[in-house]
Structure 1
Amino acid sequence: MGAALAVHGGRPVRTGRPWPRWPQPAPGADAALLEVLHSGRWSIASPYGGATTYEQRFAGDFASYLGVGHCVPTASGTAALMTALEACGVGAGDEVVVPALSWAASASTVAGVNAVPVFCDVDPHTLCLDPASAEAAVTPATKAIVVVHLYSAVADLTGLRAVADRHGLALIEDSAQAHGATYLGRKVGTFGDVGTFSMHHTKVLTSGEGGAAVTDDAALARRIEHLRADGRCRAARAPRTGAPELVETGELMGSNRCLSEFQSALLIAQLKTLDAQNGSRRTNAALLDRLLAEQGLSPQQTSPGTTRRTYFGYAVELPAAPPDAASSAAVAEALTAELGLPVRPVYQPLFASRLYDPSSRRRFDIRPGHLDRLDPRQYARPAAARAAHTFLTFHHAALLGEEQDMHDIAEAFRRVLARRAQLTG
């Protein structure tokens, strides 16, 4: 069987060569931050100084990049989702279809607007929301569908758009992991009534924290503007210097979920490198797909309408193994030791996630029986549950490396899976 695995004290596959760091500041990022520092305006709520805010400039750049009419930057992807839900009319007691396999915010944002997330199963190959499962969950109380483009896959937008239209539901497209991906030749985030993005530290377009909601509907964009700026909206005309640029319209109460000028300026610079970095990731992912498929592994697939993928995470399904074989978590630990690269199982299903537990917060006990409707334990979604035990993933930064890096990853998989019987757990 050869040398011991690194997790057992053997020599790892990879030594002495670091993986690409993330985030990587784009050319001009430092100068952009210095511009804001000395501008006298660090927030869109600051007094008007006679110049267009960096937030407005980023909103215009990102809307143009996506080919959409309106972009409203927000403090986070979570803020973008919550404002999108409320802008689409989702509120107390409404049901919202969400994928059972996703980050906790897919459910907690729905609960956060006093609605009820209904977990539906995912396609076993793409790991994205299955249109048939979504349609089967629709009831008279359903108000919206939230679809997530997960890891490197684009969901079946044709099928989900059709379900939403048949039942008169809002479709909200969570594109937090898919900046720059395209479906039928159009950027994702533009197929839903609202598309939402996260610019968190881990994302392929990042300002550390941040987000955005995009739409072609001017009325929805105006509602989102109010919801993210304490009920205020940018004035139709530039005010006098020193006056507020945000107007207290009285149209809609909101909260403070604005993006700072520092983050906006950083995103203007980072957006210019997005396509080139995504191209590098795709090239390396295609090589790794081939190398792992030769070993009998199954890289995550994407929906047939996908015309360009974006890799937030590279995900791959392990080969079938005996019932007593070591868990995917044990395999991930061994791969991490071989590579010096964090490899993890994919998300736990939301109905089993420690991060989604509405009963832990009194704010969700809004009426008798509401917590029972929020209880995640009522769901059993087999494809989502199986994926959590069979798929592994690692961060997109590794795909910004060299061809040899992909061969290192493939060799680590070969070594670990050949010795899976030696692993415990």
Structure 2
Amino acid sequence: MHLPPRIGEPSARPGRFRNAWRAAHAPVAGVSRRLQLTAYAIVHAAVLVDQLDLLDKQNVRRSRSADHLTARLSALGLSPQATSAETTERSYYRYAVRLPEEVLAVAPVDRIARALTAELGFAVVQTHRPLNDNPLNRPSTRRGFALDREYAARANAARFDVPIAKRIQGSVVSFGHEVLLAPLDAIGEIAVAFEKVLAHVGEPAG
């Protein structure tokens, strides 16, 4: 397996996954960065508005790629995220796949995600941490929430048990929607990478 690109670098296969970039794990922004984040949001909004005319065609491509990949991964015993029968049209933000229990008994989900990232050249990651253990949901770290001890105790999300969210975080990997804009033969390579990684999941990393 080749090493994944560094954060900020394009995909190791720019011709195959042209829009796929490695995810940047930036620290959580503080209050002092709100203005900068607002400026970024304005720039992002301007870019997105300019892209709206392309959205419908891109969603068709994403759905076609997702259907192709779902069929391939399901044949391997994986469980791509399904949608309800009442859905009239589906779009994608992230493509998510649940790994089988027998695979997770051999290797944890984060190790499998790293192996897939190395194999494919774009970021394959776990889902976000549950809200009761998420750095974005810790009111006690913000002075604005320091009202009194009773309120702090009630607002402490760590007091909740969220077994389903924990189970999902420990069994699901995903990648960004931009990958689904790749050609279908490149989408097929994703299934090949999953098959390869799962076949060697019990081998020591090296």
> Any gaps of 5 or more consecutive residues in structure 1?
8-13, 24-103, 105-199, 201-207, 211-259
Which residue pairs with 2:98 in the alignment? 317
Question: What amino acid does structure 1 have at the position aligned with 2:17?
Answer: W
CA distance in 2, matches of 1:323, 1:391: 10
Report whether the alignment pairs 1:275 with 2:43: no
Question: Which of 43, 66, 69 is residue 285 of structure 1 equivalent to?
Answer: 66
- Confirm or deny: 8 A CA contact 1:325 1:420 kept in the other structure: yes
TM-score computed with the length of structure 2 as normaliser: 0.79
Query: CA-to-partner distance for each residue in 1:121-141, whole Å, 9 max, x for gaps?
Result: xxxxxxxxxxxxxxxxxxxxx
- Confirm or deny: 8 A CA contact 2:63 2:91 kept in the other structure: yes
Say if 1:266 and 1:351 are closer, same or farther in 2 by CA, change over 3 A. Answer: same
Which residue pairs with 1:236 in the alignment? none
CA distance in 2, matches of 1:306, 1:368: 45
CA distance in 1, matches of 2:54, 2:163: 39
Which residue pairs with 1:383 in the alignment? 164
Which residue pairs with 1:420 in the alignment? 201
CA distance in 1, matches of 2:51, 2:104: 46
Asked which structure has the greater CA Rg, the reply is 1
Report whether the alignment pairs 1:360 with 2:137: no
CA distance in 2, matches of 1:415, 1:263: 37
Cα distance, 1:315 vs structure 2? 0.2
Report whether the alignment pairs 1:297 with 2:73: no
- Confirm or deny: 8 A CA contact 2:127 2:169 kept in the other structure: yes
Question: What amino acid does structure 2 have at the position aligned with 1:310?
Answer: S
Report whether the alignment pairs 1:21 with 2:19: yes
- Confirm or deny: 8 A CA contact 1:6 1:334 kept in the other structure: no
Q: Which has the higher helix share?
A: 2
- Confirm or deny: 8 A CA contact 1:331 1:423 kept in the other structure: no
CA RMSD of aligned residues (A): 2.6
Question: What amino acid does structure 2 have at the position aligned with 1:338?
Answer: E
Cα distance, 1:367 vs structure 2? 3.2
Cα distance, 1:265 vs structure 2? 5.1
**Number of residue pairs the alignment of both structures matches:** 182
CA distance in 2, matches of 1:302, 1:385: 21
Say if 1:316 and 1:323 are closer, same or farther in 2 by CA, change over 3 A. Answer: closer
Which residue pairs with 1:343 in the alignment? 124
- After the TM superposition, which residues 227-246 of structure 1 pair with which residues of structure 2 at under 5 Å, given as runs? none
Which residue pairs with 1:331 in the alignment? 112
Cα distance, 1:395 vs structure 2? 0.6
Which residue pairs with 1:122 in the alignment? none
CA distance in 2, matches of 1:419, 1:350: 33
Q: Which has the higher strand share?
A: 1
Q: Percent identity?
A: 34
TM-score computed with the length of structure 1 as normaliser: 0.40
Q: Which has the higher contact order (CA 8 A, sep 6+)?
A: 2
- Confirm or deny: 8 A CA contact 1:326 1:423 kept in the other structure: no
CA distance in 1, matches of 2:55, 2:19: 15
- After the TM superposition, which residues 53-202 of structure 1 pair with which residues of structure 2 at under 5 Å, given as runs? none
- Confirm or deny: 8 A CA contact 2:103 2:198 kept in the other structure: no
- Confirm or deny: 8 A CA contact 2:98 2:172 kept in the other structure: yes
Cα distance, 1:17 vs structure 2? 3.6
- Confirm or deny: 8 A CA contact 1:358 1:374 kept in the other structure: yes
Report whether the alignment pairs 1:408 with 2:193: no
- Confirm or deny: 8 A CA contact 1:314 1:395 kept in the other structure: yes
Say if 1:300 and 1:423 are closer, same or farther in 2 by CA, change over 3 A. Answer: farther
Cα distance, 1:323 vs structure 2? 6.4
Report whether the alignment pairs 1:397 with 2:174: no
Query: CA-to-partner distance for each residue in 1:137-189, whole Å, 9 max, x for gaps?
Result: xxxxxxxxxxxxxxxxxxxxxxxxxxxxxxxxxxxxxxxxxxxxxxxxxxxxx
